[in-house]
Amino acid sequence: MVNETQHIRQIILEKLYRAKGRTISGVRLSELTGISRVAIWKHIHALKQDGFLIESSPKGYFLTDPDNLLLPVCFDPPLSERIHYFPRVTTTMDTARELARQGVPHASCVVAEHQTKARGRLNRKWESDPGGLWITLILTPDTPPALAYLYNFAASLSLSLTLETLFKLDVRVKWPNDLLLEGKKLAGLLSEIETRADMIRFLLVGIGINVNNDPSSSAFEAISIGQALGRPVSRKKILAQFLQCFFDRIQDLNARNIMGAWKQRTSTIGTRVRVETRNQTIQGLAQDVDDAGTLWVKDSKGQNHPIIYGDCFHT
């Protein structure tokens, strides 16, 4: 799935990472990859254009920001064995789907630097430039399909807790699958399930997080962690902490526990909302999100509406 160009660039990045800030000569990189020094220079130039912080000197090349590399080699086992890294993909969901059908292990994670055709819910375009964190989790749980929704809520909850732990940011979850910071979109989730009879064949949870990228060109009001803090942050730390938090959380897939903790982190309950479903638009006050993940909205006439699926806007 990784083409020859991507493979060579991944080798270059791995060698630079293992050097721990020391300079590696073009000659040495040429020997390690089996290509010419001119070709090495071209690959380095392309990597710089993709946002990798590589410095050049008369002696060679070195990384100035290894904490932002997301290669498997950058993580300790067993996490390093779960990560499937790609510099560029159409979408991490597409790549994860292919890998899932090939039978990769439960709890694998597809990571990409850039997605060329990223989409969110309802096929909306999602900006995913280098600097963000674009991942899809591949899960093959021994869980009834009726409980699959809990993985999405567990993921948004875990991400909210992770960002609070690492950066003291008050990140709120919005029903059904967004994360907000200062009322602006920080991250979004998208789930997909493939079943066989009454079993989950695999479940994909795609997550896009604005980290060090500039999301100002998005169609909606958005923010990145770097913008909120006024400095770049380590994507590596975010990914490692989030995956640990998420996998710990789903060890006991209890609806009451997960939804109870999720409700403590949400900004949707108690807010006036407009929810667009396939057949209607409902406006009113968000009263609750129950253990089944259903949003309850009371309209102006006092009628309560249970909403299982829809686009929710805080008004």
121-to-51, 95, 126, 169, 310 alpha-carbon distances in Å? 27, 18, 9, 25, 10
Annotated ligand binding at 208? The verdict is no
Annotated ligand binding at 184? The verdict is no
Annotated ligand binding at 119? The verdict is yes
Instruction: Tell me the C-alpha distance between 218 and 132, whole Å.
Output: 13
Residue with tokens 């909120």: 228
182, containing H or E segment: none
Residue 196 dihedral angles phi and psi, to the nearest 5°: -140, 115
Q: Does residue 197 come out as left (phi exceeding 0), alpha (psi in the -120 to 50 range) or beta? A: left
**85 CB-near residues (< 8 Å, 6+ apart):** 10, 70, 71, 72, 111, 112
258, containing H or E segment: helix 255-265
> What is residue 301's three-state secondary structure?
coil
> What is residue 218's three-state secondary structure?
coil
Q: How many CA atoms lie within 13 A of 19 on its CB side?
A: 20
Instruction: Tell me the C-alpha distance between 30 and 116, whole Å.
Output: 30
Annotated ligand binding at 34? The verdict is no
Annotated ligand binding at 115? The verdict is yes
Positions at the binding site: 115, 119-121, 185
As annotated, the binding site for biotin includes 115, 119-121, 185
